[in-house]
Amino acid sequence: MQRTHAELRRFITNNFLYGRNCGFRDDESFLEMGIIDSTGLLELINFLEKHYHIKVEDADLIPENLDSIDQLSQFVERKIESHRPTTVASVLETQAI
């Protein structure tokens, strides 16, 4: 998750703060801090889908998923985990429980 945090922070800093590190915390709201507006949200979603190979659904477009580095990182990790291919070993492991 640390890697995801770092990648997301780098993307936000480079694309919305033009490389300036304004010292915002990972739990601070992008909207409240004025970092991302509605157009920026589209850019962010495009990045998430291409970089992490996930699909951001309409139902995912809520502040609880996308409004801070912490929330983004948790959202991305959940999406990645939910789309991991199922292997025979993992199926057998689940059935053994």
Alpha carbon 94 to its chain's center: 28
* 14/60 Cα distance (integer angstroms): 24
* 35/30 Cα distance (integer angstroms): 5
Using CA of residue 42, residue 45, residue 61, residue 71, what is the dihedral sign?
Answer: negative
Intra-chain end-to-end CA distance of the chain, in Å: 27
Domains and CATH numbers, the chain: 2-96 (1.10.1200.10)
- This prediction has a pTM of 0.81
pLDDT tens track, the chain, 97 positions: 789 999 999 999 999 998 787 788 999 999 999 999 989 999 999 999 999 999 999 999 999 999 999 999 999 999 999 877 655 555 555 455 5
**For 52-56, which contacts have Cβ atoms below 8 Å and span 24 or more sequence positions?**
52/76, 52/79, 52/80, 54/79, 54/80, 54/83, 55/79
